[in-house]
Amino acid sequence: MSLDVLPIGKPAEEFRKYESEPTTKLQQCVKNFYYQQHRHQTVDFVKEMKEKWLKFNHAEMPILEALDLLQQLFDESDPDLEDTPNIVHAYQTAERMRELFPDRPWLHLTGLIHDLGKVMAVWGEVQYAVVGDTYPVGCLPSETIVYGLESFKGNPDLENPKYNTKLGMYEEHCGIDKLLMSWSHDEYLYQVLINHPTCKLPEEALYAIRFHSFYPYTKSGAYRYFESEKDKEMYKWIMELNGSDLYSKSDEPPKIEELKPYYQKLIDEYVPGNVKW
């Protein structure tokens, strides 16, 4: 986390709380979500999702039009966003980035769109294939993953000797970008952006978007044995996004319509035109 990022609304330790014995309806919903995600996300499942979504034939629309669809999305995995549509969080994150990095407009836009891949859920995808923390499939899950190894009970990859060891189907220091991550909005948006021929977001933005939900790596230091030297250099950009992503959540709603003209200018510069989804 950037040293400049301070939580809004509540202490840092009050964010990302996951109860093994849920005491609220929200916590029960979050636990149910992760148990489903961990049971269903396998190597084969991720490959099926890539085949389904990376044809980019679900819609064609500009960034702000797609972002408006997140008004319909309530993230089942997030213990900090009860009854808050994801579009609110998008603008909160962007405005926090704008406050912290006034001279880096590409970071403002990165904050705005970082969760835009969640539009898959609006188009009917199950949430366990869209939201939540990410982690590599094809190797033994880290104990630091939310709810631990117990939550992976019933996942067939844990019985497969090709996938149930520390390295699994990978090599040490192969690079984070060489891992097959659990399918999510992170990878989807990353692929959408690199498929868009006029996208001018820098590599740092694309990297941060692609791995901003990889909390076992960024929060707990898990999977460092897969890191390359490039990953070590790029790590700080994930953390800059994560700080504004996590700690901008508050009860104060942004004035979205007033903010749109500023962000439309950034979109026109960095991700112009109709985008294939």
Binding residues for Fe cation: 89, 114-115, 185, 212, 245
* Residue found under tokens 């009970």: 153
**Annotated binding-site ranges for substrate:** 16, 75-77, 118, 132-133, 212-213
Write b or e for each residue in 41-66: b if 16 or more Cβ atoms lie within 10 A of its Cβ, otherwise e. bbbebbeebeeebeeeeeeeeebeeb
Give which of 71, 16, 91, 87 is closest to 246, Cα–Cα: 16
* Structure token digits, residue 259: 């903010």
Answer yes or no: are the C-beta atoms of 233 and 102 closer than 8 Å: no
- Cβ partners under 8 Å of residue 112, min gap 6: 67, 90, 91, 93, 94, 263, 266
Answer yes or no: are the C-beta atoms of 149 and 178 closer than 8 Å: no
Collapsing DSSP to helix, strand or coil, 64 comes out as: helix
**Annotated binding-site ranges:** 16, 75-77, 89, 114-115, 118, 132-133, 185, 212-213, 245
